């Protein structure tokens, strides 16, 4: 057995290098795909060399690998791009449960643990469990199997605190005497699963980007802890890379909403309709017909589309791209301005538009479009609301005050596509809709844009 | 000593991760998530190595389940990331698809 250990570990070093190169190449859309391939190659290498370990039970390995590959491939090729957040949540959860099962299996085989190994076994099972059940709840919310609104009840913080305390106490008992604490270990698993559920249910639909990023980070940290359990550096390196990635994304998402992580996790934001800043700022809204909008767009030199989650719901990405093409043929300069938290996960809108063949150099970040907003003739807001609400800049009493927004109100004309005048996720009225330079174009986003495409083509 | 060495590796990797990931543009955040997700399926290595021929029944069940879930994570994660990245094109690249 020892003869193979050294070459296997050297191969792991190469795998780690490939993961790192792969992530580095994700820094540009031009090289990203090759980067992903390199990373996959690193994984394949690690898996193949692991099979050279002595005394493995190949029969069951084969069973697991065949079933897993079949499910993974079918899921990956069947999933709609609009459902990507659900998919990522689901895969995250599977990573978490794998770490939990690994720790459990190791403990079952060798119950005599040192204090350090007991600690990391506890962490691996605990974080893995939270990742799994938390991701399943996130999946349920995103797939709308369960209500996507925040679920809050009185005493929620006390319940969560009690669960966390129970986990820590059982962790300590387990750590002191692991070989006789099998029952305690099972309690830890149950408690971790419970904690995952109770900590994700109070988080509302539009805060999902934060939750998914955080769970992504947890799945990496769980893998890391599992690496400590089995004394394997490749698990630690890979897990730490993923953990870091999740933390960075979580941070970006929180900044883009001007809220702290604690606020996102514990406030139950959006569960109740905030009274602040609503109602009073009524004014006249100016509805527009397809023909009106057509004349406005036809005369525009520059057009910026601002997509939000409504675009995904209406599956309107393809018609939007078609309209964009027609506008370009008509001589307009077309760009797509994307807020960091638009959609249900980081980068959600970018993927949808890329699917519809929008060139990636037309996808513009919020910080790049805002400085030149004054020069843009027409902003077309599709299914976005809070991320374009000027109250975030002007109204100190607004619950979203301080959140960076795409400053569409500074464009010469704003066209807002919307189903009705219902307020958005945060439950606040949007002053943009009453601005003198705003025209409201009511209807289903996809049908509305199709009508515009029709107007352009009939001309 | 072993624990110190592993913690050392962990801390350095976290720093490396921060450096690498902060260079990823927001356009690619979804593929980054699904791709890093696939990397977190590295637990598969551990579960493969834990499936020894002389294992107790319970450990075989746990190990097989762990391998299955981790494989879904790895295969599904890389496949879906590849599918997404394939779609990111520049206009003058010519239609590869």
Q: Where are the domains of chain B?
A: 2-88
Edge-first strand order for the sheet with A438-442 is: A363-365, A333-338, A302-307, A378-382, A413-418, A438-442
In this structure, is residue A373 part of a structural domain? yes
Instruction: Please identify, among A228, A250, A266, the residue that sits at the C-terminal boundary of a domain.
Output: A266
pLDDT score of A282: 64
In this structure, is residue A47 part of a structural domain? no
pLDDT band per the 50, 70, 90 thresholds, residue A268: low
A17-54 residue pLDDT tens: 999 999 999 999 999 999 999 999 999 999 999 999 88
Q: Identify all chain A residues contacting B38, using CB atoms and an 8 Å cutoff.
A: 39-40, 43, 91
Per-chain mean pLDDT for chain A: 88
- Three-state secondary structure call for residue A298: helix
pLDDT band per the 50, 70, 90 thresholds, residue A278: very low
Q: Which domain holds residue A136?
A: 79-266
In this structure, is residue A54 part of a structural domain? no
In this structure, are A260 and A366 located in the same domain? no
Taking the complete model, does pTM exceed 0.80, yes or no?
yes
pLDDT band per the 50, 70, 90 thresholds, residue B95: very low
User: What is d(CA B46, CA A409) in angstroms, rounded to the nearest whole number?
Assistant: 54
Non-local (6+) Cβ contacts of A214 within 8 A are A246, A250, A261
Q: Would you say residue B97 has pLDDT above 90?
A: no
In this structure, is residue A12 part of a structural domain? no
Q: Would you say residue A274 has pLDDT above 80?
A: no
Give the side-chain half-sphere CA count within 13 A for A219.
41
In this structure, are A246 and A378 located in the same domain? no
A402-448 residue pLDDT tens: 889 999 999 999 999 988 776 666 667 788 888 888 999 888 889 99
Q: Would you say residue A272 has pLDDT above 70?
A: no
Q: Identify all chain A residues contacting B87, using CB atoms and an 8 Å cutoff.
A: 81, 351, 354-355, 357
Question: ipTM, 2 decimals?
Answer: 0.93
**Closest residue of A to B89, CA-based?**
A359
Pull the structure tokens for residue A239.
């897990």
User: Which residue, A142, A246, A20, A340, is CA-closest to B32?
Assistant: A246
Among the listed residues A361, A386, A395, A459, the single catalytic one is A386
Chain A 18-77, CB below 8 Å of chain B: which residues?
A: 19-20, 22-24, 26-30, 32-33, 36-37, 39-40, 43, 46-47, 50-51, 53, 55-57, 60-61, 63-65, 67-69, 71-73, 75-77
Non-local (6+) Cβ contacts of A433 within 8 A are A285, A416, A418, A421, A440
In this structure, are A99 and A248 located in the same domain? yes
| A445-458 and A317-329 helices, crossing angle to 10° | 30
**Closest residue of A to B39, CA-based?**
A238
pLDDT, mean of residues A53-70: 92
Q: Would you say residue A70 has pLDDT above 80?
A: yes
Pull the structure tokens for residue A374.
């004054």
Q: Identify all chain A residues contacting B52, using CB atoms and an 8 Å cutoff.
A: 55-57, 109
Which segments of A371-444 does DSSP mark as H helices, in order? 391-394
| A208-229 and A115-142 helices, crossing angle to 10° | 150
Per-chain mean pLDDT for chain B: 89
In this structure, is residue A109 part of a structural domain? yes
A318-360 residue pLDDT tens: 999 999 999 999 999 999 999 988 888 888 999 999 999 999 9
pLDDT score of A2: 62
Q: Would you say residue A197 has pLDDT above 60?
A: yes
- For a pLDDT cut of 70, what percent of chain A falls above it? 95
A400 compared with A88, residue with greater pLDDT? A88
User: What is d(CA A75, CA A36) in angstroms, rounded to the nearest whole number?
Assistant: 18
In this structure, is residue A4 part of a structural domain? no
pLDDT, mean of residues A118-128: 94
The answer to whether A36 touches A22, Cβ cutoff 8 Å, is yes
B59-94 residue pLDDT tens: 999 999 999 999 999 999 999 999 999 999 887 654
pLDDT score of A153: 78
User: What is d(CA A392, CA A397) in angstroms, rounded to the nearest whole number?
Assistant: 9
Q: What is the 3-state secondary structure (H, E, C) of A176-232?
A: HCHHHCHHHHHHHHHHHHHHHHHHHCCCCHHHHHHHHHHHHHHHHHHHHHHHHHCCC
Chain A 211-250, CB below 8 Å of chain B: which residues?
A: 212-213, 216, 219-220, 222-224, 226-249
Q: Would you say residue B5 has pLDDT above 80?
A: yes
Strand partners, A381: A306, A416
In this structure, is residue A106 part of a structural domain? yes
Based on the structure, what is the number of domains in chain A?
A: 2
Q: Would you say residue A275 has pLDDT above 80?
A: no
- Write the DSSP assignment of A339-368 as a string of letters: -TTSSSSTTHHHHHHHHTT--GGGEEEHHH
């Amino acid at each position: 057995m020892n003869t193979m250990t050294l070459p296997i570990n050297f191969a792991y070093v190469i795998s780690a290098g490939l993961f790192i190169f792969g992530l580095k190449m994700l820094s540009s859309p031009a090289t990203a795909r090759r980067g992903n391939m390199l990373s996959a190659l690193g994984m394949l290498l690690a898996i193949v060399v692991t099979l050279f370990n002595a005394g493995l039970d190949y029969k069951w390995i084969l069973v697991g690998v065949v079933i897993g590959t079949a499910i993974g491939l079918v899921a990956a090729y069947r999933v709609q791009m609009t459902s990507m957040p659900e998919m990522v949540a689901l895969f995250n959860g599977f990573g978490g449960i794998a770490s939990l099962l690994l720790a459990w299996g190791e403990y079952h085989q060798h119950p005599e643990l040192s204090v350090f190994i007991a600690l990391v076994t506890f962490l691996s099972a605990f974080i893995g469990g939270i990742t799994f059940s938390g991701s399943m709840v996130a999946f349920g919310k995103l797939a709308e199997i369960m209500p996507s609104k925040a679920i809050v009840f009185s005493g929620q913080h006390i319940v969560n605190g009690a669960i966390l305390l129970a986990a820590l106490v059982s962790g300590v008992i387990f750590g002191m005497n692991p070989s006789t604490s099998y029952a305690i270990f099972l309690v830890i698993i149950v408690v971790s699963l419970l904690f995952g559920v109770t900590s994700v249910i109070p988080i509302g639909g539009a805060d999902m980007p934060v939750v998914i990023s955080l769970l992504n980070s947890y799945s990496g940290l769980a893998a890391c802890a599992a690496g400590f359990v089995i004394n394997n550096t490749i698990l630690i390196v890979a897990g730490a890379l993923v953990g870091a990635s999740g933390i960075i994304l979580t941070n970006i998402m929180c900044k883009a909403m001007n809220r702290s992580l604690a606020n996102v996790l514990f406030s139950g934001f959006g569960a109740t309709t905030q009274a602040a800043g609503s109602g009073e700022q009524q004014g006249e809204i100016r509805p527009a017909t397809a023909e009106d909008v057509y004349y406005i767009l036809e005369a525009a030199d520059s057009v910026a589309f601002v997509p939000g989650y409504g675009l995904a719901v209406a599956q309107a990405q393809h018609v939007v791209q078609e309209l964009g093409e027609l506008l370009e043929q008509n001589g307009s300069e077309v760009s797509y301005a994307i807020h960091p938290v638009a959609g249900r996960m980081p980068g959600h809108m970018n993927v949808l538009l890329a699917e519809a063949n929008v060139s990636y150099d037309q996808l513009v970040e919020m910080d790049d479009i805002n400085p030149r907003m004054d020069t843009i003739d027409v902003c077309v807001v599709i299914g976005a609301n809070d991320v374009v609400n000027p109250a975030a800049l002007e109204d100190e009493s607004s619950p979203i005050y301080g959140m960076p927004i795409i400053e569409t109100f500074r464009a010469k004309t704003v066209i807002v596509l919307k189903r009705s005048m219902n307020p958005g996720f945060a439950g606040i009225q949007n002053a943009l809709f009453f601005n003198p330079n705003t025209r409201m174009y009511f209807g289903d986003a996809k049908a509305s844009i199709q009508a515009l495409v029709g107007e352009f083509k009939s001309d | 000593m072993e624990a110190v060495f592993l913690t050392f590796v962990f801390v350095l990797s976290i720093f490396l991760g921060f450096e690498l990931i902060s260079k990823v543009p927001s356009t690619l955040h979804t593929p980054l998530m699904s791709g890093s997700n696939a990397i977190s399926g590295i637990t598969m290595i551990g579960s493969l190595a834990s499936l020894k021929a002389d294992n107790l029944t319970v450990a075989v069940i746990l190990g097989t389940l762990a391998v299955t879930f981790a494989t879904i994570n790895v295969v599904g994660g890389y496949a879906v990331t590849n599918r997404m990245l394939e779609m990111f094109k520049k206009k003058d690249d010519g239609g590869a698809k």
